[in-house]
Amino acid sequence: MMPTALDLDSPTPALTGRAWPPLTQDFATLGDAFSVPVAVSPLPDPVLVASSAPAAALVGLSPPRDAADEHDWALAFGGHVAAIRDGSRATVYAGHQFGNWAGQLGDGRALLLGDWPDAGGGRHGGSGAAWEVQFKGSGRTPFSRMGDGWAVLRSSIREFLCSEAMAALGIPTTRALCLVGSSRPVRRERIETAAMVTRLSPSFVRFGHFEHFSYTGQTEQLRQLCDWVIARHAPACADAPQPALALLQWVVDRTAQLIAQWQAVGFIHGVMNTDNMSILGWTLDYGPFAFLDAYDPLHTPNTTDRGGRYAYGRQPAIAHWNLLALGQALLPLIDVPESALDVVNTFRPTYVQAMQRQLAAKLGLTQLRPEDGDLFQALLDTLEANHSDWTLSFRHLAQLAADARAPIPPALAAQGQREPQRLADWVARYRERLRSEPRDDAERAAAMNAVNPLVVLRHHLAQAAIAQAEVGDFDEVRRLLRALERPFDAGAVPPHYTEPPPEHAPPACLSCSS
């Protein structure tokens, strides 16, 4: 259970000796039009729920080893250490939400603490520090609107676990250094307890940051932001005849690759508003997300999304729409408006090529052929007709022998129980395609198992961890994290994590406030 109440008016509880590295605050140099200073509201009774050793290594931190270390981490990342919290700022941005202009938004429950260099002092390009550090769930800001600025344990566990799960899958994402819980009550649909995630990213700049300055006529600030992003993250764009247009192309290319990676693992973001799109082409904000169980391209876990705008199968089109919004925002910096449209329209062919490469790798193919598109689409149609489990179907395909005389493995056949002949017909086509491949069965299986995970953060797995954490037991969060950090390794993933949800398990039905 949570510890006894901590008096926030008393001095900060003593640390056990850990020295935290100082943070710089480069984003603040842009000026007060871009962000405002906001004090962190420390969590009472901070307790470390979990931490990520891989994320800690990125910024040269040693993960907690014992109770004393966990005490220090809980205080530091619960907002009680001046070296980390002082200098925190909330940034302003705008955005389109569900296709409608929402006007000014901003960091309503997140604070940018500053920059940490990575473990070797390295950079992600340009002159910027490698990692920005952010608290999510640190109290009200001027941009909170009607919100309270807090995050609850339930949603914070989901964000923490999925950030690290996506990273382990090789998908660009903001990282989660740690998760701190608290006894502070927070009212949502019920009374819950507060929590705070410490996030890392080379940048938390969103499409919406550019929209804010463009649509309010602040062209000089728009140019300043564009130059700042280019200098830190895309320095080659500075030498282009039109740097803003070059930056747009850079974002289009990276976003196309990202969406292909999402689709390949069956990830549904759930709320692809422009204010939730990273200028880096990284996964940003984990709210009503889910991973596919039974393949359904029209599935969305977001209860707010009644029209299915952000359904799994519509994510590529929405990414293109959001890039059009970004291109529109950048027009004051681009000489020929039509050139921005031309750049954004490169998204579709770039995405299609990236998605075909993803599917080829998932099927163990060493090279793409013109006819492979039909093979891929036939597979998707077969999975949809059979309500096949997305993750398990690809994993079981690795067990299939290329020899047409060999039976279909039972685990794979089980994914085609609704229309077994349809699966059999597709397998025959696939085996015919494999005849022209240089790999033998063992080599192909190894390659497929290296890209098709055994475990993803299914809704029922997250819910089980949340249920235990809400009564003060964080062991399942930590066990699940260890499995998600090695998603392709059969020796590291307990068998029950690889199973589809039980029939009685409810599907993911989450709101944007999740």
Contacts 24+ apart (CB under 8 A), 486-491: 486/168, 487/165, 487/168, 487/169, 487/453, 487/454, 487/455, 487/456, 488/449, 488/450, 488/451, 488/452, 488/453, 488/454, 489/454, 490/449, 490/454
Distance CA 455, CA 496 (A): 10
Assigned token pair, 23 = 């943070």
Buried b (16+ CB within 10 A) or exposed e, 319-338: bbbbbbbbbbbbbbbbeeee
Residue 47 tokens, joined: 């307790």
pLDDT per residue rounded down to tens, the chain (514 residues): 333 333 333 344 555 557 787 788 899 999 999 999 999 999 999 999 999 999 999 998 999 999 999 999 999 999 999 889 999 999 999 999 999 999 999 999 999 999 987 666 554 444 445 899 999 999 999 999 888 999 999 999 999 999 999 999 999 999 999 999 999 999 988 999 999 999 999 999 999 999 999 999 999 999 999 999 999 999 999 999 999 999 999 999 999 999 999 999 999 999 999 999 999 999 999 999 999 999 999 999 999 998 999 999 999 999 999 999 999 999 999 999 999 999 999 999 999 999 999 999 999 999 999 999 999 999 999 999 999 999 999 999 999 999 999 999 999 999 999 999 999 999 999 999 999 999 999 999 999 999 999 999 999 999 999 999 999 999 999 999 999 999 999 999 999 999 999 888 777 776 666 5
> What pLDDT score does 98 carry?
95
Q: What type of residue sits at position 315?
A: Q
Nearest to 319 by CA among 355, 290, 344, 343: 344
Query: Looking at residue 23, what is its pLDDT?
Result: 87
244-270 as b/e: b if 16+ CB within 10 A:
bbbbbbbbbbbbbbbbbbbbbbbbbbb
Active site residue 275: yes
Give residue 160's identity as a one-letter amino acid code. F
Whether the CB-CB separation of 88 and 39 falls below 8 Å is answered with yes
The predicted pLDDT at position 120 comes to 61
Three-state SS string across 42-95, please?
CCCCCEEEEECHHHHHHCCCCCCCCHHHHHHHHHHHHHHCHHHHCCCEEECCEE
In 10 A of CB 59, how many CB atoms? 19
Question: How far, rounded to the nearest angstrom, does the alpha carbon of residue 282 sit from its chain's CA centroid?
Answer: 7
Q: Which two tokens stand for residue 491?
A: 């020796």
Give the C-alpha separation, 236 to 126, whole Å. Answer: 9
* 438 Cα distance to chain centroid: 35
- CA separation for the pair 290, 273 (Å, rounded): 16
* The pLDDT value given to residue 127: 44
The helix or strand, by DSSP H or E, that contains position 388, with its residue range, turns out to be none
pLDDT on residue 151: 96
Residue type, 446: A
Q: What is the dihedral of CA 350, 352, 357, 362, to 10 degrees?
A: 140
Catalytic, out of 45, 275, 293, 389: 275
Cα separation, 292 vs 4, whole angstroms? 40
Distance separating alpha carbons of residues 115 and 122, to the nearest angstrom: 12
pLDDT at 507: 74
Rg of the chain (C-alpha set): 23
d(CA 266, CA 321): 20
